[in-house]
A and B are shown apart, each in its own frame.
Chain A
């Protein structure tokens, strides 16, 4: 039993107007444990707080109950007051007799009676309170950014600029991501490379940034402030610190028939390659699937021509382990496969391409040096049909596509159509749309320009079928506004393929215990108020891994994620919330039920030896809560059958004591 002090606040007339505060103080005086009870005009005032402090000292109080406004108003205030008087701040309970009593009841007798009951419940609870100390954990002042696209680069640069070391892990041989493959960017039409490559160079040269390209994260342990991450550095067979990026090897390599993934397989590269001219790091990589030296031991040309001596055929995958305080996920997106869309003949005709392939076809560094030529015969196309929403906005259970809107297609299609008409006025360009969605600064103006200034034919309707006929592609489509079925003989068909999260996201989410939605997009901690944080503390989200996004939105989210990371890394220690779950090991069955409902992955299991009552020892599997990760929701406490799991500050017995006090 505690020595409890009760303090009833008048809050001017806010409480005293409908609650007889003196009667409340008098009634609570008789409750078990209460040794002191008083009332005062304004408890939260300096004088009121001083009174509380004096009472704590004078009456050796072990717990206090404040009958006042909502704990959401002043719980923190009174906890500080208690701490100043040497009382553990978690020995304070608030009875809400203002918002939930005096303000909602009119009758003095009724209000007073209810206030007394609420006070009794708080006294009953505080009797079972125990002093709680928040846990402290140190913060490793280094951040990890997973993914080196524009999202990852921007986040890394912002964190590095704030003075914290950052590592970028990128699976490809270079950073740059999808944006490096784009030609122009909407709505301003500046060239993607012109605005991206300076940032890539900045990232490559920044003293606080390390880039692990051609690498992947293979294991993550630990928790916010203290992650232990294993990074696999895939063997690139070229010494990164020796290679000068001169590119001689990539010209001399005799293996010329390797599909060039940077150009989406529309041309070929060598077995030793630098993905594109502005790659960072600008280092060659040997593709082990095609290199004859690695496959059969016969060749070695690159080694002979390399004056720097950077080639190392004996290189092995390396694993490095590093500690991080925060992790930013920026794994990005990919267009979905078009294989299942038979009606668009993507697999049948080379002249049916995706929008990303179209980007490469119009890019000066692309397979056609920027000339728009048909992939099948290299001729100039005169009639081009763009199809929107291919695989986006499909039925939920559809196997072909995705339920969501991919968000970026309307704008890039407008861009493609406009640029085509601008460069090749002799072309007819048709865009088939379901809706044109252009919310964004200068977005709708941009789309209207495509129609009004560039004469792109926007047709409300969908393409039903594309059939290759000779050199042409027969497009059968509907024009819903004209009520006609259209038949167009096109030279080129461009599909605005839906986008989906990168395939690496799902296993990564498992490693991070970060939650995902059914589409494999990472879930944010709160859809409106915490959009760049994962519910898993210390994991942040940047770019399209959280949902479809265009470049401006990605960059702003990247900056926001960086700000959150900086805020975290600025702290030397993290002070936890002491109201966290705790497992009584003697009662835990190790059944893993609590682990399944924990949204934060805070629960793990350990095998422990226990001395049993019969003096034998027994190895048992028991739950262990990571107090730095637990946020204190209590889902586990109800999932636990044996009652081994309890929540500090809201223990089973405390809540039951409140129930009893109210129902008495």
Chain B
């Protein structure tokens, strides 16, 4: 179990190319995040929890789908940690493991309403077409 978690963590770090140890815990990622209020875990928590290997809660959290992957956190992070890429890597890991996606590209139009930000639509199409 320990090993599986560790392997998964390494995979996430490898896919994302992120080094969570560079984080100085300033919280600018979460300050920037437009989905903050929707998310259970926030960008800075993703970084910290991946650093400590606390992956289970993240994997089972809806937060990995609520990230719009707008990459504002990546852009603003003063240390170049790139939390957005980390979240994306987590999501990919989950998809690979479960062999299934949260939703498919076909189902996207049904969930779009006038309130949906355009960025979310674009990123959803990008994410769920894989």
Residue ranges of A at the interface with B (Cβ–Cβ < 8 Å): 343, 389, 393-395, 397-398, 400-401, 434, 460-465, 476-478, 480, 483, 485
Query: Can you name 7 A-B residue pairings with CB atoms under 8 Å?
Result: A343-B76, A393-B24, A397-B80, A462-B26, A464-B76, A478-B31, A478-B36
CA distance in complex: A478, B44 (Å): 10
Contacts of B32 in A (CB 8 A): 343, 464-465, 476
With A462-B31, A465-B32 known to touch, is A480 a contact of B25 (CB < 8 Å)? yes
Contact B22 A395 (CB under 8 A): yes
Q: Is B28 an interface residue (CB 8 A)?
A: yes
Q: Is B14 an interface residue (CB 8 A)?
A: no
Q: Is B57 an interface residue (CB 8 A)?
A: no
Contact B30 A464 (CB under 8 A): yes
- Minimum CB–CB distance for A395 against chain B, Å: 4
Contact B26 A389 (CB under 8 A): yes
With A434-B24, A462-B26 known to touch, is A485 a contact of B33 (CB < 8 Å)? yes
Contact B24 A464 (CB under 8 A): no
Contact string, B8-48, partner A, CB cutoff 8 A, digits 1/0?
A: 00000000000000101111111111001100001010000
Interface SS of B by simple majority: loop
**In this complex, which of B28, B33, B36 has the most chain A Cβ atoms within 10 angstroms of its Cβ?**
B28
CA distance in complex: A476, B79 (Å): 20
Contacts of A393 in B (CB 8 A): 24, 78-79
User: Which of B57-78 touch A at CB < 8 Å?
Assistant: 72, 76, 78
Contact A485 B78 (CB under 8 A): no
Contacts of A394 in B (CB 8 A): 78-79
- Name the residue on B nearest A480 (C-beta): B27
| Residue of B22, B24, B31, B80 touching A485 (CB-CB under 8 A) | B31
Contacts of B76 in A (CB 8 A): 343, 464
| Residue of A398, A460, A477, A478 touching B78 (CB-CB under 8 A) | A398
User: Which of B63-100 touch A at CB < 8 Å?
Assistant: 72, 76, 78-80
CA distance in complex: A465, B73 (Å): 11
Contact B26 A434 (CB under 8 A): yes
Contact A480 B78 (CB under 8 A): no
Residue ranges of B at the interface with A (Cβ–Cβ < 8 Å): 22, 24-33, 36-37, 42, 44, 72, 76, 78-80
Contacts of B25 in A (CB 8 A): 434, 480
Contacts of A398 in B (CB 8 A): 78, 80
CA distance in complex: A434, B23 (Å): 11
Contact B78 A463 (CB under 8 A): no
CA distance in complex: A461, B36 (Å): 14
With A394-B78, A478-B44 known to touch, is A464 a contact of B26 (CB < 8 Å)? no
Contact A395 B78 (CB under 8 A): yes
CA distance in complex: A401, B26 (Å): 15
CA distance in complex: A460, B22 (Å): 18
7 new A-B pairs (CB below 8 Å) besides A395-B79, A464-B31? A343-B32, A464-B30, A464-B72, A477-B31, A478-B42, A478-B44, A480-B30
Contact B31 A476 (CB under 8 A): yes
CA distance in complex: A397, B76 (Å): 14
- Minimum CB–CB distance for A138 against chain B, Å: 52
Contact B80 A461 (CB under 8 A): no
Contact B22 A464 (CB under 8 A): no
CA distance in complex: A460, B30 (Å): 12
Contact A485 B79 (CB under 8 A): no
With A434-B24, A464-B28 known to touch, is A480 a contact of B80 (CB < 8 Å)? no
| Residue of A395, A400, A465 touching B31 (CB-CB under 8 A) | A465
CA distance in complex: A400, B28 (Å): 15
- Minimum CB–CB distance for A342 against chain B, Å: 9
- Name the residue on B nearest A401 (C-beta): B78
- Minimum CB–CB distance for B34 against chain A, Å: 9
Contact A463 B28 (CB under 8 A): yes
- Name the residue on B nearest A461 (C-beta): B27
- Name the residue on B nearest A392 (C-beta): B78
CA distance in complex: A483, B37 (Å): 10
Contacts of B72 in A (CB 8 A): 464
CA distance in complex: A398, B22 (Å): 13
CA distance in complex: A476, B42 (Å): 15
Contacts of B37 in A (CB 8 A): 485
**In this complex, which of A343, A397, A434, A480 has the most chain B Cβ atoms within 10 angstroms of its Cβ?**
A480
Contacts of A476 in B (CB 8 A): 31-32
